[in-house]
Structure 1
C-alpha cells in the first residue's frame, strides 16, 4: 500500500508502506550506520522520533533475539530507501516488516533518503508524518506546524520501579533515563552489583543503597526537560564516583554549572570520530543525540573538556577537576557500532576501586 511522508516545511514524498498500517507523527532524524538497525529501533533515546536510515538497504540480515536494546521500542516510525523482504543470516528469526508489525511501528520505503537527509541537514530536524494516501497533505502540513512535540520522553522510557541486576563486585546505582541494555551488559560483564532506579529517584534514596558508583544513562529529549534529575546529580557529585553517558553527560554538565544547546540535526550513527585531548588518540564512536554541551559554558566550572568531536568540534567528554566524576557524549558500549572506547567502563571500575581504598572481597 502506498503512503505519504509529509514534512512541516511542505515537502511530500510518496512511498510504499510496511510495518504497522497506522499513521504517526514525530521528529524526523537520520542515522548514518550501515548496520545495527535492530539496535537503533530498540534504542529508547529515539523515543518520539521517526528515524531515517541513510544506508540504502535495511533489513537484509533480519531480526534476531539477542540484539535488542530494550524490550519495548519507543521509536515513532522508520524511513528507508529499500526494505529487504528476504533476509539471510543464521541468527535471523523474522523479517524487519514482521517485527515492525508486531511492535506497531509504521514505516515507509521507496523514499529518496539522500534528498530527505539533505533537507534535514539544511533546515535542521523537522516534524513529519507517515500517513495514508487519503490524508490531505495541506491540512497535515498545517497540523504539523501547530504540533508541539511531547517533553516527557524520559518519563515514557524510564523504569517505573527500582530493580536489581545482581553481581559480586562493586555496587552501582544506575539512574535510568532511557537505558540501553548495552550499558547494563557492560557493567554485568565486570560483575558489578547493579541497582536500576527510575529517573526521578532522589539523591537521598540513591545514597541509601550505599553505592560504590553511580551511572547516569543515555535517554531521549532535552536535558533541561528533566530539571529534577539535574538537581539530583548536583547533590550526588562528590559523594561517590559518577560516570555519565549521552543524556547522562549533559545532565552532569548542567549539574556542574555548564549549559547545553540543541544541535541543528544531531549526531546519529556508528562512525563518528572523537579525539581524546589527554592522549591525542582518536576513536570511532557510536552516537545518538540531538543536544550538546556548550564549550564556552564549561569555563568557570569545576569541569574540563576531555574529548571533542572531530566533525564539528563539539564537546564529547568532561571530567570533574576535584571529584571522581566523568562523562562522555558518545556510547562506549556501542550497540551498534565500534567498541574503541569500551575501556571507559574499566576506568569507572578503577575509579570506584580507588575511591573505596581497597578491593572488594569476592564471595
Structure 2
C-alpha cells in the first residue's frame, strides 16, 4: 500500500511479516544482489522492474556490497524460486529468509512504476500478516519521510578499519564511510591506495592524525542536508588542498560544503543505463545510478569556485562537479559500476592522478 491509498495485492516472498519505507524503483536487468546490499538503499522498499527476479540465485563471495541486506522490502512481478547458475550458493528466497526481508511478487510493476513516476516518490508498506487496508494505512503514517532524515550514522562502520596492503601501496586515502560499497574500496586499492575507513561521525582532527594523502567521500542513504557534521568535515578536508573524490552522497556533500544546496527529486534515478555527458571531454557515458536527491544547478552556474563536469542527458540534472580552487571533484552516479557498465572507471584514475600531483 502506498501512502496515497493505492494498494496492490500479490504473493508473499521472503518471510511473513510487515515492513515499510520509501518506495523507489530500479530499472536494472541484473545485479539485484548488489542492489539489496547497497547501504544507499537503507530505509527503502525496492521495486525491481525486470520481469524475472531471482532466476540466477545468490552468490555470496563476489556480489555483496556490504555485510548485510540493507533494503526494507522488495516488490517484483515474477519471483523465481529456482535458479540456473551453477555457482550460486542458494536461492533468493532463502537469502531473504536469512535476512528477515518481507516482499511481495505478482504485482503489476509497470502500473506501479508509472504511478510513482507520475505522483512522485512516497512511503509504502508491505504486509503478509495484516491484510486490512485501514489498519495498514495507520501503520504507514508512522513511517518518517526521507526528506530531512539522517541515516548514514545507522549504516556506517562502528570502528575504523584498513583495506589494502600498506607496503604495496603508493598513497594513503582516508575514506569517510557514510554507507560505503565494497566495490568502491576495491577500485581504490587496485590503483595503489591504502585505505583507512572511518566511521561517519569521526572528527576532522582524528582523520588528520592518520596523515592521509587524500580523501574519499562515500555514497550513503538519507538526506544530505541533514548531515551538517559531514558537511563541516568535507569543507575542512577541501581546505587542506589534498585531493578529494566524492560519489553519490559524497557528491552532494561536496556541493553543500561549497555553499550549494540540494533538493529532493520527484522520483530519483535508479538503474544501469542512465546517459551522462562529460562536458569537459565531450564524451558520453552509460552509468549506474541510485539517488533521490540532487544539487541545485542554478547555484552551481553562479558559483565562482565550482564548475559543472557532468550532466544527465535525460533530465539535465547535475551529475558531476569540481572545485576550481582546490583538487576536489565528485559525481552523482556510481563509477564503480556494481552493478552496471564500466564506462566511468576512469574517474578513479583521475583521482589517483591528483594524488600523484598530475
What TM-score do you get using the length of structure 1 for normalisation? 0.94
Aligned match of 1:207: 208
Q: Deviations over 1:121-159 (max 9, x none)?
A: 011111111113543202322442353247242111111
Aligned match of 1:166: 164
2:350 match: secondary structure:
helix
2:45 maps to 1:50: yes
Contact 2:102–2:127 at 8 Å: present in 1 too? Answer: no
The verdict on how the C-alpha distance between 1:351 and 1:148 changes in structure 2, with shifts beyond 3 A counting, is same
2:322 maps to 1:324: no
Unaligned runs of 5+ residues in structure 1 are 1-5, 356-363
Matches within 5 A, 1:147-166: 147-149=143-145, 151-166=149-164
2:131 maps to 1:135: yes
Once residues 16 and 337 of structure 2 are traced to their aligned partners in structure 1, the CA distance between those partners, rounded to angstroms, is 31
Once residues 28 and 257 of structure 2 are traced to their aligned partners in structure 1, the CA distance between those partners, rounded to angstroms, is 32
Aligned match of 2:309: 306
Once residues 142 and 16 of structure 2 are traced to their aligned partners in structure 1, the CA distance between those partners, rounded to angstroms, is 24
Matches within 5 A, 1:256-295: 256-295=258-297
Contact 2:20–2:143 at 8 Å: present in 1 too? Answer: no
Q: Deviations over 1:259-314 (max 9, x none)?
A: 10010000001100000001111000000000001111112241100000001000
Once residues 147 and 250 of structure 1 are traced to their aligned partners in structure 2, the CA distance between those partners, rounded to angstroms, is 24
Q: How many correspondences in the alignment?
A: 350
Once residues 82 and 152 of structure 2 are traced to their aligned partners in structure 1, the CA distance between those partners, rounded to angstroms, is 35
Once residues 64 and 298 of structure 2 are traced to their aligned partners in structure 1, the CA distance between those partners, rounded to angstroms, is 37
2:230 maps to 1:229: yes
Aligned match of 1:358: none
Contact 2:18–2:129 at 8 Å: present in 1 too? Answer: no
Matches within 5 A, 1:242-261: 242-261=244-263
Q: CA deviation at 1:166?
A: 3.1
Contact 2:21–2:143 at 8 Å: present in 1 too? Answer: no
State the Cα RMSD in Å: 1.2
Q: Deviations over 1:17-39 (max 9, x none)?
A: 01121210111100000000010
Q: CA deviation at 1:253?
A: 0.3
Contact 2:66–2:182 at 8 Å: present in 1 too? Answer: yes
Deviant stretches of 4+, over 4 Å = none
Aligned match of 2:12: 17
Aligned match of 2:31: 36
Aligned match of 1:3: none
Contact 1:9–1:141 at 8 Å: present in 2 too? Answer: no
Once residues 285 and 157 of structure 2 are traced to their aligned partners in structure 1, the CA distance between those partners, rounded to angstroms, is 31
1:156 match: secondary structure:
helix
Aligned match of 2:356: 353
Once residues 206 and 291 of structure 2 are traced to their aligned partners in structure 1, the CA distance between those partners, rounded to angstroms, is 29
Unaligned runs of 5+ residues in structure 2 are none
Q: CA deviation at 1:112?
A: 0.3
- Of the candidates 334, 339, 343, which is equivalent to residue 337 of structure 2? 334
2:116 maps to 1:120: yes
What TM-score do you get using the length of structure 2 for normalisation? 0.95
Once residues 214 and 13 of structure 2 are traced to their aligned partners in structure 1, the CA distance between those partners, rounded to angstroms, is 44
2:71 maps to 1:81: no
Q: Deviations over 1:47-72 (max 9, x none)?
A: 00000011110111110021010011
1:7 match: secondary structure:
coil
Q: CA deviation at 1:330?
A: 0.3
The verdict on how the C-alpha distance between 1:42 and 1:61 changes in structure 2, with shifts beyond 3 A counting, is same
Contact 2:262–2:295 at 8 Å: present in 1 too? Answer: yes
The verdict on how the C-alpha distance between 1:146 and 1:101 changes in structure 2, with shifts beyond 3 A counting, is closer
